[in-house]
Amino acid sequence: MRATPESSGVRTEIEVANTNKRDATYSVRISIADGKGWNAYNRFWLQDVPPGKTGRDAAVIGSKDMGPVPQVPKIYVDEFTPLVDRK
């Protein structure tokens, strides 16, 4: 995971490697905070990641309307749920 401050929020990039023997979908909830009250979150859905491959996604989380964008954002994984195909 990577969190990079931008003028409009924090660009967050996520990667999940599928170590299962079947396709998997991952639900990952990420929070970004500055330790001073600025806090934003997003849920990523990485769908149908093939075995041995890595699913990737990115989004800008939060906004400048929330106050100054953290220059040293802290990233937290609030929830990580893998869903493996049964076929």
Query: Maximum CA pair distance of the chain?
Result: 48
| Cα distance between residue 68 and residue 79, in whole Å | 26
13: left (phi over 0), alpha (psi -120 to 50) or beta: beta
Burial 52-62 (b: 16+ CB within 10 A, else e): eeebebeebbb
Q: Which residues of the chain have pLDDT under 50?
A: none
Residue 85 is predicted with a pLDDT of 72
Cβ contacts of 31 within 8 Å, gap of 6 or more: 39, 40, 41, 75, 76, 78
